[in-house]
């Protein structure tokens, strides 16, 4: 009954926690400044944010769940393209700024909601399945028991502790033992280790705890067995009996180094027996290697500086291209406006030409005999029919000769003004078109420069990689002796941390 009550209480807690998560709280958030836009693609804009060490560690922790990106409290759809200790590169849809002053990366509750949902499902299974519930609360029926020997008689006499040794020793995958302070965990752990190693002599065991004191107690209990003491390595700061100090990792490494130092001493003694010229040859060779390493390091450093300079140059070219593209858009808009004005003036010029021809006809009528008869006969002329609206608009049939001459002069002045305006607009259009073509040529030149810079950056990176590989080989030739200590440390089977 107590088991059922515990499960119900824990489920009630999880359901309350799930209700809280359904409100969509921000689990964690971090603000990062100064995002630089990289070249665009069709789906959105790509931005790079440089990271400090603390920012990287916090973001790395948040990567286990869902990650929101907010700018001025507005969430944007995002895709993380790369993430390392120096920077994070993301694609943001709907953002077009060249730089982002400040962005908020926030974890949301979806990841924790899924875990909570799974936990509730497990509790439902435990509630319905008696056998699984028995195992969780200490009923070992159905598990495999392995007969064990016990150094501590109290463990053998206490059935629950005896079970907690014999069942874990025979487990094939995972076995969980839970108990509050004072229930004997520090007593049964050494018994489990002894019996497990008795059945699996080549096994390696890691014993760890958040408290150094607990680990120290276990170490001293196991060290009482002299056979096991030879297999123990104690990692980390500790305070144990002086007689067991030889198991400390620091002591083991010191002993290993003593052996290395002794071998070095022996090598030096042998070197004194060599011919002076031979010793100088060896020293010169090693010095040559060191000089080679130093030269490679200097060359690699210079390459990094050149690569950084090239990347800055690349960024400037990309900005130039972006500015030229914006200017071309503005120039094309201006060309369209000028084309419209020119078309309007040309249409007006045609109208003036037609009016001038009709005025000339009526003026000829006015200068001859019987003008009214000539005007009446002209009404059957196709020219009269096609220009009827213009004739009516200016009342040409009713104008006198002087009025017609005045209208003719006015038309000539208008024609001169229109021709003058057309000439100015066409000159402006030629200038705008020339500037646009110049900008387009500049973009092509900039893109060629950009491709050349990108190829040069790749070449620098390849050369840097080759030099790094060469330097690593030279380092290995100087440091080969240090690797001799690792086989000696690896022989230990139990590590305490």
Tokens coding 56: 């990287």
The CA distance from 165 to 157, in Å, is 12
In the chain, what is the straight-line distance between the N-terminal and C-terminal CA atoms, in Å?
Answer: 39
Higher pLDDT: 283 or 33? It is: 33
Angle of CA points 93, 95, 99, to nearest 5°: 135
Instruction: Count CB-CB contacts under 10 A for residue 426.
Output: 13
Cα distance between residue 123 and residue 58, in whole Å:
32
The string of DSSP codes covering 6-67 is HHHHHHHHHHHHHHHHHT---SEEEEEEEEEEEEEETTEEEEEEE--HHHHHHHHHHTTS-E
The predicted model gives 392-401 an average pLDDT of 80
pLDDT, mean of residues 193-201: 78
Chain segment 289-339, per-residue pLDDT in tens: 777 777 877 888 887 888 888 888 888 888 888 888 888 898 888 888 988
Lowest pLDDT segment from 32-36, 43-47, 147-151, 393-397: 43-47
- pLDDT-based confidence at residue 138 (cuts at 50, 70, 90): low
For residue 203, give the DSSP letter: -
CB 51 within 8 Å of CB 59: yes
- pTM for this prediction: 0.33
Does position 222 have pLDDT exceeding 60, yes or no? yes
Report how far residue 133's alpha carbon sits from residue 4's, in angstroms, rounded to the nearest whole number: 9
Residue 260: pLDDT above 70?
A: no
Residue 345 has pLDDT above 70, yes or no: yes
pLDDT for the residue 482? 45
Q: Among 157-161, 212-216, 442-446, whose mean pLDDT is lowest? A: 212-216
pLDDT band at 175 (very low <50, low <70, confident <90, very high): low
Instruction: Tell me what percent of the residues of the chain surpass a pLDDT of 70.
Output: 75
Give the angle 263-264-270 at the CA atoms, nearest 5°.
90
How far is 91 from 84, CA to CA, in rounded Å?
A: 16
Number of C-beta neighbours around residue 84 at 10 A = 10
Read off the pLDDT band of 94 (50, 70, 90). confident
Helix (H, G, I), strand (E, B) or coil at 178: coil
| Position with higher pLDDT, 466 vs 210 | 466
Name the band, by pLDDT with cuts 50, 70 and 90, for residue 486. Answer: very low
Cα(39)–Cα(36) distance, integer angstroms = 10
Distance CA 191, CA 154 (A): 11
pLDDT at residue 9 in the model: 76
- The larger pLDDT score, comparing residue 158 to residue 257, is at 158
Instruction: Please give the average per-residue pLDDT across 238-265, as a whole number.
Output: 71
Say if residues 404 and 363 touch (Cβ distance below 8 Å): yes
Residue 430 has pLDDT above 80, yes or no: yes
CB count in 10 Å sphere of residue 44: 18
Residue 36 to residue 318: CA distance in whole angstroms: 12
- Per-position b or e across 132-156, b if 16+ CB within 10 A of its CB: ebebeeeeeeeeeeeebebebeebe
Cα–Cα distance for residue pair 375/378, rounded to 1 Å: 5
Q: What is the pLDDT of residue 172?
A: 62
Rounded Cα distance between 36 and 48, Å, is: 5
What confidence category does residue 192 fall into, taking pLDDT thresholds of 50, 70 and 90?
A: confident
Q: Are 55 and 101 in contact (CB under 8 A)?
A: no
Write down the mean pLDDT value for the chain: 76
Which residues does residue 79 pair with via DSSP β-bridges, in sequence order?
91
Between 89 and 131, name the one with better pLDDT: 89
- Give the tokens for residue 183: 């229930």
Domain 294-477's class?
mainly alpha
The whole-number pLDDT of residue 135 equals: 56
Please count the other Cβ atoms lying within 10 Å of the Cβ belonging to residue 398. 8
* Residue 77 pLDDT greater than 80, yes or no: yes
Confidence of residue 485 (pLDDT cuts 50, 70, 90): very low
Query: Dihedral, CA atoms, 135, 139, 141, 145, nearest 10 degrees?
Result: 90
Q: Check if the beta carbon of residue 173 is closer than 8 Å to that of residue 199.
A: no
| Whole-number pLDDT of residue 249 | 73
Q: Which CATH architecture has domain 26-108?
A: Beta Barrel (2.40)
Give the pLDDT of residue 127: 65
Select from 224, 257, 228 the least CA-distant residue to 243. 224
* 317 Rama sector, left if φ>0, alpha if ψ -120 to 50, beta otherwise: alpha
Q: Phi, psi at residue 463, to the nearest 5°?
A: -65, -40
DSSP 144: P
Burial class (CB in 10 A: 0-12, 13-18, 19+), 23: exposed
Which whole-number Å values give the CA distances from 359 to 374, 377, 413, in the listed order? Answer: 14, 16, 14
**Angle at CA 245, nearest 5°, toward 243 and 249?**
160
Confidence at residue 129, expressed as pLDDT on a 0 to 100 scale = 67
Helix (H), strand (E) at residue 281:
helix 276-366
What pLDDT sits at residue 115? Answer: 73
Mean pLDDT over 362-378 rounds to 73
Q: How many CB atoms lie within 10 A of CB 332?
A: 13
Q: What is the DSSP letter of 1?
A: -
Listed by start position, the domains of the chain span 26-108, 140-203, 294-477
Taking residues 84-90, report their average pLDDT. Answer: 84
Mean pLDDT of 14-43: 75
Mean pLDDT value of segment 121-125: 75
């Amino acid at each position: 009954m107590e088991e059922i009550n515990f499960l119900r209480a824990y489920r009630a807690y999880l359901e309350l926690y799930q209700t809280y998560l359904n409100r969509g709280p921000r689990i964690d958030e971090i603000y990062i400044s100064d995002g630089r836009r990289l070249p665009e693609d069709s789906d959105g804009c790509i931005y790079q944010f440089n990271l400090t060490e603390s920012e990287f560690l916090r973001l790395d922790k948040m990567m286990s769940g869902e990650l929101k990106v907010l700018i001025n409290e507005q969430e944007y759809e995002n895709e993380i393209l790369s993430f390392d200790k120096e920077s994070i590169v993301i694609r943001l849809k709907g953002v077009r700024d060249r730089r982002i002053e400040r962005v908020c990366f926030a974890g949301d509750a979806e990841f924790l909601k899924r875990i909570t949902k799974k936990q509730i499902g497990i509790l439902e299974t435990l509630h319905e399945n008696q056998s699984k519930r028995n195992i969780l609360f200490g009923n070992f029926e159905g598990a495999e028991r392995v007969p064990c020997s016990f150094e501590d008689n109290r463990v053998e006499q206490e059935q629950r502790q005896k079970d907690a040794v014999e069942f874990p020793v025979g487990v094939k995958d995972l076995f969980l033992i839970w108990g509050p302070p004072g229930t004997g965990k520090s007593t049964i752990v050494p018994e489990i280790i002894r019996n497990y190693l008795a059945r699996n002599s080549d096994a390696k065991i890691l014993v760890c705890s958040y408290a150094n004191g607990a680990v120290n107690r276990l170490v001293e209990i196991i060290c009482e067995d002299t056979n096991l003491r030879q297999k123990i390595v104690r990692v980390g700061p500790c305070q144990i009996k002086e007689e067991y100090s030889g198991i400390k990792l620091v002591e083991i490494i010191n002993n290993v180094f003593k052996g290395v130092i002794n071998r070095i001493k022996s090598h030096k003694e042998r070197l004194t027996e060599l011919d002076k010229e031979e010793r100088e040859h060896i020293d010169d060779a090693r010095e040559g290697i060191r000089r080679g390493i130093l030269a490679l390091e200097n060359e690699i450093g210079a390459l990094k500086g050149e690569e950084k300079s090239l990347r800055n140059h690349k960024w400037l070219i990309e900005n130039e291209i972006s500015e030229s593209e914006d200017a071309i858009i503005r120039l094309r808009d201006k060309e369209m406006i000028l084309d419209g004005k020119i078309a309007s003036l040309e249409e007006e010029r045609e109208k003036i030409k037609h009016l001038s021809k009709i005025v000339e006809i009526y003026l000829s009528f006015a200068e001859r005999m019987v003008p009214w008869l000539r005007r009446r006969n002209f009404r059957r002329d196709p020219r009269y029919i096609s220009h009827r609206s213009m004739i009516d608009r200016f009342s040409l049939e009713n104008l006198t000769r002087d009025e017609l001459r005045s209208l003719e002069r006015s038309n000539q002045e208008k024609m001169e003004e229109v021709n003058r305006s057309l000439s100015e607009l066409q000159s402006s259009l030629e200038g705008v078109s020339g500037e646009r073509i110049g900008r387009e040529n500049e973009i092509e030149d900039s893109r060629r420069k950009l491709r050349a810079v990108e190829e040069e950056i790749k070449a620098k990176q390849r050369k840097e990689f080759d030099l790094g590989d060469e330097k690593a080989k030279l380092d290995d030739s100087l440091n080969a002796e240090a690797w001799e200590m690792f086989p000696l440390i690896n022989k230990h089977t139990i590590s305490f941390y």
